[in-house]
Amino acid sequence: MLIAIEQPSASDLDVIHRVLRETYWSPGIPRDVVERACANSMCVMARDPHGKLIGFARVVTDKATFAWLCDVIVLPGKQGRGLGRTLVRTFLDLPELQGLRRWLLGTKDAHGVYAPLGFTPLTAPERFMQIKNPAPYGTHTS
């Protein structure tokens, strides 16, 4: 398996889009939105020995104080082997992301994936606010 910080190719974006548009957090997301999100984020890709995409994650960061981990996906058939944690660990270990004041992520059902990496529930959730569009792509998100 090969893990690398790199921007996805057009064919990678096709795969990433196909998976993301079926997730609970971005149902129906348009491909151009996925492409724009990747272009404005740091991306990590996991590939099998033949170069085929098997996992992906991205981070939105200023590389000084804050990082938002998002869109961690492991393709069907490759799940349950620690690949998601490996993708996240790749970001956590990057020299340019050391010393950040805060890392955030949102998850509905993968707390067990992230807790061993040091993620915990918000200590003061009442301090955080949001503007949420529940149906940005025509389908409600969770």
Q: What is the pLDDT of residues 115-138, one digit of tens each?
A: 999 999 999 999 999 998 888 888
Domain limits, the chain? 2-120
pLDDT in tens, 49-66: 999 999 999 999 999 999
Name residue 68's beta-bridge partners.
60, 104
- The secondary element (H helix, E strand) that includes residue 35 is helix 31-39
The whole-model pTM stands at 0.92
Tell whether domain 2-120 is in CATH 3.40.50.300. Answer: no
Name residue 74's beta-bridge partners.
55
Residue with token string 């804050």: 66
The answer for residues whose C-beta is within 8 angstroms of residue 47's C-beta and 6 or more apart is 1, 2, 3, 4, 53, 54
Q: At what angle do helices 10-20 and 31-39 cross, to 10 degrees?
A: 120
First to last CA, the chain: 32
